[in-house]
Amino acid sequence: MKTTLNFILITLFAIQLNAQQKTISGIITDSSYSPLIGVNVLVKNSTNGVLTDFDGKYKITASVGEVLVFSYVGFLTEERTVGKSNTISFSMQEDTSSLDEVVVIGYGTSSRSSYKPSKAQIKKQKQKSYHNSIANQLQGRVEGVNINKNSGSVASVKIRGINTISSKNKQPLYIVDGVPIKNNYNSVIASLDPKAIESVKEYRSLKAKQLFGTSARNGCIVVTTKKGNYRIENTEAYAQIKENQFERTQTAPLSTFSIDVDKASYSNVRRLINEGSNIPVDAVKIEEMVNYFDYDYPQPTGDHPFSINTEVVKTPWNADTKLVKIGLQGKTYDNEDLPASNLTFLIDVSGSMRGHLELLKSALKLLVNQLREKDRVSIVVYAGAAGVVLEPTSGKHKENILNALNQLKAGGSTAGGQGIELAYKLAQKHFKKNGNNRVILATDGDFNVGASSDKAMGKLIEEKRKSGVFLSVLGFGYGNYKDSKLEILADKGNGNHAYIDTMQEAKLIFGKEFGGTLFTIAKDVKIQVEFNPSKVKAYRLIGYENRLLAAEDFIDDTKDAGELGSGHTVTALYEVIPNGIESDYLKTVNDLKYTKPNIKPEYSDELFTVKFRYKKPDGEKSIEMVHITKDKIDMPSLDMNFAASVALFGMQLRHSQFHNNSKKEDVIALAHLGRGKDSNGYRAEFLRLVGSLN
C-alpha cells in the first residue's frame, strides 16, 4: 500500500512538473529597439539553449520558476525568471564597463628646455602623442569628441559614451566601415569627411579582443560612415603565381594538373580596369580568364559526362611554336531534370560588406527566383558571431526567402570560421540523399575572428567536404577583397569560385549557368598530357600554376582536384616547341645517355596523348578516359582565335616573358577573328576592355 501511494505521488508530481513546462518566446533588441541577432538564451544551470534569429526572436521550453540567462558580446548579461506569462521581451543594455570614459594623455616638449632626450625616450614620446594627434583630427568632426588642453603641453581627449585607449602606449586596431586599417592611420582619419561620419566607438583591450580577435588586443577604435563604404587602403590579397616555364619533353614528358572552372579572375580584372586601378600581376589567372567564355564544344554522346576536344595551330604570337587547345564540355541538364537542392546561403554581413550587401542580396534573389518546390534554402549570417536567419524553406515559399534577404544589414567584425561551422552543420542536418547539398558562401573573404588564416580555413574546409556537402564561393567587394582565401575555400570545398562585380555577372552565374553553378556532374577531374619526345622538344602550360599536380597524383584517388558542373566547359592551352627548333626560352643541357627516344612505329605520328580521370559526384573511385592527338596543323577555329587572344592579353597583364613583345592591337585583332556570333555580347565586352587600356 505504501509503495503504491509513493508511486501515485511521484506520478502526480511529474504531471504537475510537465504542466508547468511551457514554450517561452520573445524579441530581444538593443536600446534603439533594433533586433539583436544571435543572443544566447539559456536555461540557467542546464544545457537547454537557443539563439535569437534575424528578427531578434527566440523560442525555448522552460518551467515556471526557472531562470533564463540572456548573453550577448558587448552587452550586459540579463536574467529573467519564468512566470505565468509565455512572453519575455526586453531591450539589452550595452556593457558600459567596457565603454567607460577614460583619458588619453598626449605629451609635448618645451622648446625652451635644454634637456635632450635619448632615442628611446623620443620613441616613447612619439607613441604617447600618437592618440592625441588622432583626437585632434576627430575633434569637431564627430559628435561627442572634445579636447581639453592644460598648460600647453598636455592634452586630454574625451569621447562621450566610449573610451579612447592608452593601453601601455600600444597602438589599437582602427576599423573604418568594417575594414581594418593597417597603415597610415593619421592620413586615413584626416581624409574622412566630417559630414560623412555617423559614429565612433572605442573598446578596451579585453572586449576588443572578444569582438575583433587578436589584432585588437590593444583595443579598437571603430569608425562608421553614413554610407558605410569608405575606401581606406587597398588590402586586397592574391596568392603568388610563379609563371610556368617550358619543360623539356625528354626529361619531363608528363604534364599533370587539376581542372579549373572558376571565372573569378576575369570579372575581378574587369572591375579593376573599369575603375582605373592598377592590376596586380597575381590577380591575373590566365586559365580563369580563358574559361570565363563559352566555347562551341560538342555535347558528350557516350557514357562519360563530358566530351574531349583538341586543336593544334601555329602560335599567333610566336612563329616558331605551336599552340595546343584541350577542351572539355560537360553534359548539360535541363533545370527541371536536376536533383532536389538543399542550399545553405552563408552570408557575410560584417562591416566590410556594408557597401556591397545590396548587390549580394540582388544576386541571390536571381537564384531564389529559379528555385523549384522540391528545393530548400536555409540562410546563415555571420559578423561578430554567426546565427541562423532562415530555417530550411521550400522554393514554393519564395516570398519568405526574399523577405529574409531583404532584412539583412551589415555591421561588425567577421567570424567566418564560425559561420562556416554553423552552415555546414545545418546543411548536414537537412542532407538530401542523391540530392544537391551545397553551401553558398557570399563574402569579401576578410575573416578576422577565430580561424582566419588561409591555412586554417583550408584545413577547416577539407574536413567539412567529407560530409558530402559541396561549396560555392561568391566574392564581393573591393579594396579589401581576399581572393587568395576564397580560391582556397572553393578548391578545398569541392566547389567553384566566382567574383560578382555587377548584376550582369550575377545573371551569368545564377541565370545562364544556373545548373553548372549548383550541380556537380564530375568531381576530382585531373588531366595528364604525355608529349611525344620525337615530335615535341618542350612545352609550356599557360596558366593553371595553382593547379599543378605531381605525375603520381594522377592515379592517386586520395588527391583532391577540380569539379565540373552541368554544361560547364574547361579549356587549357599549351605552347609547344617542335623538335629541331632552337629557342632562347630553353637553356642548354648535356645529352642524356639513357633517355633517347625510342618510339614505336605506330606512335610516330602522335603529338600527344591526353588522359582524364574523374569521379562521379558521390563516388570514391576514379574513371579514366584517353584521347590521342595526331601531329598536324589545323586551321584556327573561331574559339581557338578567341581563347588565344584572351591568353595573350593575360600574359601582357602579367608582364610575361613569353608574349614576345606583342601589343594590345595584336590581342584586339586576334579577338576580332574569334568573335563569332557572340549572342550575349561577352566577347564584344572583352574587346572594349582591351581597347580601354592605355
CATH code, domain with 81: 2.60.40.1120
pLDDT at 343: 94
pLDDT of residue 416: 67
Q: Which residues of 9-43 are buried (b: 16+ CB within 10 A; e: fewer)?
A: eeeeeeeeeeeeeeebebbbbbeeeebbbbbbbbb
Q: Under 8 Å CB-to-CB from 352, ≥6 apart: which residues?
A: 177, 178, 179, 410, 414, 444, 446, 477, 480
The CA radius of gyration of the chain, in Å to the nearest whole number, is: 30
Considering the domain architecture, whether residues 633 and 669 belong to the same structural domain is answered as yes
Q: What is the pLDDT of residues 385-435, one digit of tens each?
A: 678 889 999 999 999 999 999 988 876 655 567 888 888 999 999 999 888
Domain end among 496, 518, 540: 518
Residue type for position 545? E
- The reply to whether 11 falls in a domain is no
Residues 560 and 673 placed together within one structural domain of the fold: yes
Looking at residue 401, what DSSP letter applies? H
pLDDT the model gives residue 547: 95
Match 597602438 to its residue by C-alpha cell: 171
Residues 318 and 353 placed together within one structural domain of the fold: no
Q: For residue 573, what is the domain's CATH number?
A: 2.60.40.1230
Q: Is residue 177 part of a domain?
A: yes
Contact 414, 441 (CB under 8 A): no
Q: What is the pLDDT of residue 302?
A: 85
Say which residues have a Cβ less than 8 Å from residue 532's Cβ, sequence separation at least 6: 249, 599, 603, 606, 607, 608, 631
Does residue 98 sit within a domain? no
pLDDT at 99: 37
What whole-number distance in Å separates Cα of residue 59 and Cα of residue 88? Answer: 10
* Residues 300 and 318 both lie in one domain: yes
Give yes or no: residues 643 and 530 share one domain.
Answer: yes
**pLDDT tens-digit map of 466-475:** 888 888 899 9
Q: Check: CB of residue 347 under 8 Å from CB of residue 408.
A: yes
One domain for residues 556 and 686: yes
Interacting residues of 37 by C-beta distance below 8 A, sequence separation 6+: 52, 53, 54, 56, 381, 385, 387, 389
Give dist(CA 225, CA 142) in Å, integer.
10
**Total domain count, the chain:** 4
Under-70 pLDDT residues of the chain: 1-20, 32-33, 54, 73-74, 95-170, 179, 182-194, 210, 212-214, 227-233, 384-385, 411-416, 447-454, 512-517, 596-597
Residues 480, 369 share a domain: yes
Q: Report the candidate in 547, 479, 511, 522 with the shortest Cα–Cα distance to residue 291.
A: 547
One domain for residues 282 and 206: no
Residues of the domain holding 278: 247-261+270-332+523-587+595-692
One domain for residues 56 and 194: no
Same-domain pairing of 396 and 508:
yes
pLDDT score, position 183: 56
Q: DSSP E strands: which ranges in 374-434?
A: 376-382, 386-394
DSSP reduced 3-state for 214? helix
Residue 15 falls inside a structural domain: no
Query: What is the number of residues in the chain?
Result: 694
Write down the number of H helices and E strands in the chain.
Answer: 16, 30
Task: Give start and end residues of each alpha helix (H) in 348-445.
Answer: 357-368, 398-406, 416-429
C-beta of residue 173 within 8 angstroms of C-beta of residue 218: yes
Question: Are residues 482 and 556 located together in one domain of the fold?
Answer: no
Strand, coil or helix: 167: coil
Instruction: Give the whole-angstrom CA distance, residue 134 versus residue 157.
Output: 10
Q: What is the pLDDT of residue 94?
A: 74
Tell me the pTM. Answer: 0.70
| Residue 29 and residue 37 in contact, taking contact as beta carbons nearer than 8 Å | no
**274 and 360 share a domain?**
no
Q: What is the pLDDT of residue 688?
A: 95
* Residue 255 cell numbers, joined: 604534364
* pLDDT of amino acid 162: 33
